[in-house]
Structure 1
Amino acid sequence: MTWTTAQQDALQNAIQRRNERNILQNQLAQTKTELAKRQQEQAVLLDQWRNEQADVDRLNRLSWASLYHDLLNQKEQQLTKEEAEAQHARLRYDAICATVIALQQQCKDQEKRLPGFSDVDQLYEQLIESKREALLNSSDAVREQYQQHLTTLIHNNHYAQELTEAKGAGIQALQEVRQLGQLLDEARTWGTWDMLGGSTISSMIKYRKLDEVRDQSQQVAYSLQQFRREYKDVDSTFLPDWTFDNNLTRFVDIFFDNIFTDWSVQSRINEARTTAQTLEDHLVTAIAELQNQQDKSTEQTKQLSDQFQRFLETV
């Protein structure tokens, strides 16, 4: 089978169209990501506006709070302040609404263009397959080059996938650890308040937070185990001093022992918070290095893919 000039021109055109399609897909993905982010902000700002408006409505209607402000001759001053805050919240909400509408329209425009590329992958694969068939009549050296390109690319893609899975597990573990740290901070705050003579309510909230800490500790231990498993698959040596086991059970066990005094509670909270911060620091370092390795792998994959395609397109 021979490879004609017309086929080569068609392949070059298919390559160009695929690149255009890929760029458009990336743009659409970025637009959707930005839209999702802005929609989250929109929901937050809507809640803020409603809350500020509720404060205005509360002062405008007859209530104990309204009577209290009347007695202190502060109602008009307070109402003006609440109205200003409500107006500011409304302006911020209107601004984000305009941004969301613009991004939604941008998504529609980009999605409308994509069907024009619906046949490009099939056409490209047909032409590349024809080129592969043409290689059957080529020399042994050319066929060997083809197999080397393919084997190297497959191996690199496999390693890239392992890096992606390891980084994803690390990010999940980091999120769990940070959530635990936040709960510990809240428990520590209520514990301090309780030791300084807080009420029964403060004690109740503190121990409720400790229950949440205990539950979250188990999530942390599980997520760290998952990360260890994925990290081991990468078989990396860029963090040889990393150890997973030391801190796996400390969070889970720390609140199961008997606690007799408030000082003991606070001491355990502080110890757990220190451990959580240490784990967070280790995870941030590990994820950053995995990201660095992933960036290198991505660039290498792109280079290998480009080399392979140039080989198929020009041999």
Structure 2
Amino acid sequence: MYSEINEKLVEIQGKLHKKEKYDLQLEDYKRELQIVEQELGDLRERLKSEEKDVVKLESMSLKNLVAILSGTKEEKLSKEKQEMIAAKHKLEEAVKTKMVIDEENLKLQNALKAFEKIEEEYHQLLSQKETIIKSGTTRFAEKVFELSGKEGSLKAYLVEVEEAISAGNYAKSALEDARSSLEKAEGWGTWDMFGGGALSGVMKHQHIDQAEALLHKAQTNIRQFQKELLDIREQAHLKIEISDMLKFADFFFDGFIADFMVQGKIQQSLEQIRLQTNRVTEILLNLTAQLEKKRRELENIQKEKQEIILNL
């Protein structure tokens, strides 16, 4: 009887850990959603302001005619249009981010429905366990239950670490793809500066467009990686502030269109991607070491429990 309850306790502990993780992730997504919604409001106001500036400059007032004659209006108009495009682009990226967060929130809410009665089931099993221990049918029952508790916690932790490593590998791969596209853009940009002609300019822009899409994917994957780390960061002794990982893409999407044609901007962005890739790699190495350590602990616990059961 107690062997069956042991197995159920190990299984249910895994489900409890999963529920705790989903609750943490949902709470973090809600917090992030508030920030994104505030940003969306600010960006919409900024875009309206930039559009007004362009319309104002394009009107044919006497003041504007003087500006045209002095050669200053076109330069200023070009700058205002760039700022308007940059604001529009940042707004579009924020809308995409909100869509991703909304989708993840819905997934988590649906996933949590499967665990609505899990705590009730757990307490029922604990009650049965207590009854068996008090009955004194075997003097080793309490020790076996204790080891099963440790086994359940370790198994649940290992599952979470494996899921975090998987998410981290996806994030790292997306960063490397974005880096590759930017390196190609950098190469075509260098050729363009030395008179590469129309082809080099077109190819450079194509790789920049591709890099932008890949950076959005990388940001999404990093967000998922960050959420997977929420419930294991303390036990895994992570020294890197994972909340900062979500901020790196702002460097790219703020003024992406306005500034990205500048060769120096590409080089700066490449440096940012390399830095972020190194941070993800460092966390993955830490998690892999934790995984091996906890696997050995689990093997020892299972071996000790098995020896007790065989001697009953």
Q: TM-score, normalised by structure 1?
A: 0.53
SS of residue paired to 2:239: coil
Aligned equivalents of 1:252, 1:165: Cα separation in 2: 29
Q: 1:252 to 1:220 in 2, by over 3 A?
A: farther
Structure ranking higher on relative contact order (CA contacts 8 Å, 6+ apart): 2
What's the counterpart of residue 290 of structure 1? 287
Does residue 312 of structure 1 match 2:309? Answer: yes
Aligned equivalents of 1:305, 1:152: Cα separation in 2: 9
What's the counterpart of residue 235 of structure 1? 233
Alpha-carbon distance, 1:183 to partner: 0.9
Matches within 5 A, 1:51-62: none
Q: 1:200 to 1:282 in 2, by over 3 A?
A: same
The match for 1:193 among 191, 194, 204 is 191
Unaligned runs of 5+ in 1: 2-134
C-alpha contact (below 8 Å) 1:174/1:283 kept by paired residues: yes
What's the counterpart of residue 152 of structure 1? 150
Aligned equivalents of 2:245, 2:288: Cα separation in 1: 19
What's the counterpart of residue 163 of structure 2? 165
Alpha-carbon distance, 1:221 to partner: 0.7
Does residue 255 of structure 1 match 2:256? Answer: yes
Aligned equivalents of 2:222, 2:250: Cα separation in 1: 10
Alpha-carbon distance, 1:174 to partner: 0.5
* Amino acid corresponding to residue 240 of structure 1 in structure 2: K
What's the counterpart of residue 181 of structure 1? 179
> After superposition, what is the alpha-carbon deviation per residue over 1:63-84, rounded to whole angstroms, capped at 9, x for unaligned?
xxxxxxxxxxxxxxxxxxxxxx
Aligned equivalents of 2:136, 2:156: Cα separation in 1: 29
Q: 1:254 to 1:282 in 2, by over 3 A?
A: farther
What's the counterpart of residue 245 of structure 2? 244
Of the two, which has the highest radius of gyration?
1
* Amino acid corresponding to residue 251 of structure 2 in structure 1: R
Alpha-carbon distance, 1:308 to partner: 1.6
Alpha-carbon distance, 1:249 to partner: 2.5
Aligned equivalents of 1:238, 1:138: Cα separation in 2: 40
C-alpha contact (below 8 Å) 2:215/2:249 kept by paired residues: no
Alpha-carbon distance, 1:246 to partner: 3.1
Q: Once the two structures are aligned, what percentage of the paired residues are identical?
A: 21
Aligned equivalents of 1:170, 1:194: Cα separation in 2: 36
> After superposition, what is the alpha-carbon deviation per residue over 1:114-163, rounded to whole angstroms, capped at 9, x for unaligned?
xxxxxxxxxxxxxxxxxxxxx99864531111211111100111111111
Q: How many pairs are equivalent?
A: 179
Matches within 5 A, 1:1-315: 139=137, 141-236=139-234, 238-242=237-241, 243-256=244-257, 258-259=258-259, 264-315=261-312
C-alpha contact (below 8 Å) 1:183/1:212 kept by paired residues: yes
Q: 1:232 to 1:270 in 2, by over 3 A?
A: same
C-alpha contact (below 8 Å) 2:245/2:276 kept by paired residues: no
Aligned equivalents of 2:200, 2:249: Cα separation in 1: 30
Aligned equivalents of 1:266, 1:155: Cα separation in 2: 52
Aligned equivalents of 1:300, 1:253: Cα separation in 2: 47
C-alpha contact (below 8 Å) 1:224/1:244 kept by paired residues: yes
C-alpha contact (below 8 Å) 1:218/1:252 kept by paired residues: no
Q: TM-score, normalised by structure 2?
A: 0.53
* Amino acid corresponding to residue 256 of structure 2 in structure 1: F
C-alpha contact (below 8 Å) 2:140/2:308 kept by paired residues: no
Alpha-carbon distance, 1:194 to partner: 0.6
* Amino acid corresponding to residue 144 of structure 1 in structure 2: E
C-alpha contact (below 8 Å) 2:178/2:214 kept by paired residues: yes
Aligned-residue RMSD, C-alpha: 2.4
What's the counterpart of residue 62 of structure 2? none
SS of residue paired to 1:234: coil
Alpha-carbon distance, 1:241 to partner: 3.4
Alpha-carbon distance, 1:267 to partner: 1.4
C-alpha contact (below 8 Å) 2:165/2:288 kept by paired residues: yes
Unaligned runs of 5+ in 2: 2-131
